[in-house]
Structure 1
């Protein structure tokens, strides 16, 4: 071989002068860059291309191929190679597992040589005009070995093919697969099962795996699974006992490896939970117990009131809100694993896990102070039927539980629109100007008290003579159903109630002044700011004012000069068609809760029927209602078409057999809109 020429490099400065000769300098003096290292996937061939037939010098290219089966024809395999006189080298190092009989097969045009660990096994090495093939049977030892295939094309068409495969016939293959390693087995709490995993075998003739199990202390194995998967999931036959698992590999010739190292697995025995306790609360009954190893959930049985209910609980506590109050309920619990295996239940007695659910505690408690009294209110839900009565506790200091005394008051109640009941109790014995803390407890027929309501704190008032501020922005609006009043009330904390006064204006003609004389009144709450006076809209003039009263019985209307009065002229919806007097028919109209107006009247002598009409202000006439009665003596009818928010006028006329009719009787009904 001719030694490479050497060129002594000059200084960097000198080289910069010869910039225009860069290509030449590179060609004669620069060392070619080393080809990047190619790392191929496991069991892939590393393939290198040479522009000569002696595999000399730096390869033109290195890449990877998972199989050798190329036919380049008369072309060059890659750019940079000649179409004749080139070489390609393939090499792979792989683990052959337990080894055994293999067949190596090669074909090529022109030359091909196959080496196993550097020893030539196939030799076809001549320039020919046709493809030549050759195979060889041999035994490859266990472990890692290197196959190398050299291919050369001198002239003409180029192709090469090579393969290697185990001989799987029982006649030839007597070699056991390699023993599996890396076997892992654990008890999976979530499923309660054994989960095994193991790496895939490198055996080329692998048929699958067999899973075996034996009970600790025995030597007898039982096959529990077979197949090609590299994992297994199954149940231990008995929880609480240790079982050993191993894996054996099987090849296509039926040879079975020795068993892997045994891996022990124990499925925990579901033991009965301990520490079961039940506590009655306002929310329900809270049941607790200690955890059991391996349990994924628990089965909780509740008995009582002639019922039995089983619930699945994931934690170690459960608040049973479905039980009725004032009743003793018993509980038992068992542990359950992920496979559904259940322990024994806790004993029904010794001791029993039982609790008494208390009656519901009052809520929405308020306290309204006066000078020498405090009025408390609270709410009872409609479903809390087990409450017998209430105790009201008060104290001048906190905590209330340690210093409370039973307040002397009698409870009253009223049903609210939503079905709940509001209770009121007035403590009439506190001192004026004193701070008190209150709490309310319900109790049932067995005198068992609920937990206390939230504590409310209030300070009784001191006597005063200052009247509360009068209402402001008092306004009245005439409607088709009467008059709507609205106002603003002051923010004094001691307002007890308000009184709406409805009056008529009386005018002093000499002085030219008018005074509102109240003819009726109605009390409303301390924070109410509206009132609906439902009355016949017949064009009358009305006046209104509101008196505010505080806890010291002072009234805002003590000074009429500053107490506002509002006047309003009602709308006049009276029919413009007059009705004569002297009707034998007396009509009564009543609003119907579900909507409409019920009209009824007494029979008018020998009348054979009746007509019922309603005033239509649009047409200015009385018109028959859609649900008019038959002419054969009916004395009532419900007008379902009567809308709310206005006043309806009716007249009923008696009909006689001779074809005559009576003077109609009249009635009106005011239908206010929903509140």
Structure 2
């Protein structure tokens, strides 16, 4: 409370001027508009609050004791002056308030232009009025009019929310302007919001829920947050979490939630450890199975060989798989192994390993060779295959038509990439014959595993039949009769007959001519003679008979092979009588 006498000093923010014979205070420019919730006060040199104000100020509180003097910063008559205080502010959700006015002399209080307190009279002692009033939500304007007639002057007005839980049943408004930032490095969500307009706000509560749930959980503790910011560490699960802020007044009423704000937390939560690990040993390896972990993106399988001569063996990562099963095809046989499995989620978090499982690897037949192929070669049949993936294979056996053809093949033709590549040349294969081949892998214990059978048919031989012998040519009136000895080849198919005629003007064999060769007949394999019917013209020609076998091999003139020509001069043309 400020007390002034007639000799009181002027407020430092006022500028003095002479108006109508009275000293007045002209306020600074900002005094005409006061920021809420400050009061704007206007002073008048009369008790009717009329005319032009002598001064305008902004005051944080309405609590003045002028005594027998005038207000600070303005010179007014000793008696008969007045003042009007006005403020407009947002009361948020509103609710029950107590208005208290004290004055000497008159005072009136208005809310949104409606008079609520009226004590407008000249008194010799301070009078006091109290009013309980419920304000609707939103902004309201309060006006306090004061008049000093004679004697001492003072005025005081206060308004305050009623905060008893039995009186205040009005919930605050939900906080506005919420925002959230997230620091992935430290997994921290920081919320900010605007302070509520209510005068009776005690603090705030912060709530969080997973996006997949509708149930909110309070994360700000049992106490209230009294600032407009709060930091929280969401579960580091990689999930989306929603936050909201609720205001709480002094009566304990809680608002509805603010607008939701979301963050996606960094995932640092390990998946559950796999359970139910089982293993079964078989020829193909140790097959492991376990119960799938719901959020696992993959699994890491660990293997440790049992101590060898008392020496502990290292634990190795044997495989990374995406399904809850895996077959260990690389573990050597005749040994014990301990297995465990860890689940890994999409963020790379690995679970604690499962319980250990010990499996004894037995002695099994090796894995079969694969990719067996056959092809004709210069020497017979070329076989090739990919070796067994088992680590104890001693060699390979080759079976032909169910009979053992080769007992041991152990030299790879390509040993740069496992499984190695092996090959074998079957030089005992006969021409034109179909064979069934089987390749078998044999381990050091003699266990054998056969690959699928493949069949191969060799081509016929490439050797032409022998030269036809005993070939003769006899000229006759009706042509030339060819005769020869039968060919003894077992695969003889036919005889081909060729004729060569000299072309050119020069003598036979000269540089001015050449032989024209053409095939004139195809004969059965049982034939030993052939009559080439031709008009006797007395020319000299060549004949050849060539044997051809079932595979098309022959000593035809165009092959460059050795064969025999027979020369004959046809009979002359008969003379007409």
Structure possessing the higher radius of gyration over alpha carbons:
2
- Tell me the TM-score normalised to structure 1 length: 0.35
- Tell me the TM-score normalised to structure 2 length: 0.41
